[in-house]
Amino acid sequence: MGCHTILGEGAYYAPELTKVYERRGDVYIKAALMSEFPWAPRGRKMVAYKMSEQEADDVVAFLKWIGEIDLNGFPPKPDLKK
């Protein structure tokens, strides 16, 4: 809640996580969650959660499930053609 948002709730320091499974997939998410060391994508330091594979699988399953919720167009996608 202090870094990311999910379903529009939380902080705005780091990327929104509602559709993270769609954007990144399970391999990337599991690597982040199971990392032994903090890492800094785009200069924003992530916590080293050091999750077990089962814990990471559970979080991935949750993120996949929440990503399938019909958000009726929220959050809006940027128009990259501008």
Contact 3, 12 (CB under 8 A): no
- 43: nearest Cα among 75, 79, 14: 14
**Which pLDDT value is given to residue 48?**
94
**Which pLDDT value is given to residue 11?**
86
- The pTM of this model reads 0.78
The CA–CA distances, whole Å, from 7 to 14, 27, 47 equal 14, 22, 21
pLDDT digits (tens, 9 = 90+) for 7-24: 888 888 888 899 999 999
Q: What is the DSSP letter of 4?
A: -
What single-letter amino acid sits at 19? K
**Which pLDDT value is given to residue 20?**
95
Judged against a pLDDT cut of 80, whether residue 77 lies above it is answered with no
Domain positions in the chain: 18-67
Judged against a pLDDT cut of 90, whether residue 64 lies above it is answered with yes
Contact 20, 69 (CB under 8 A): no
The two three-digit tokens of residue 76, written as one number: 């809006």
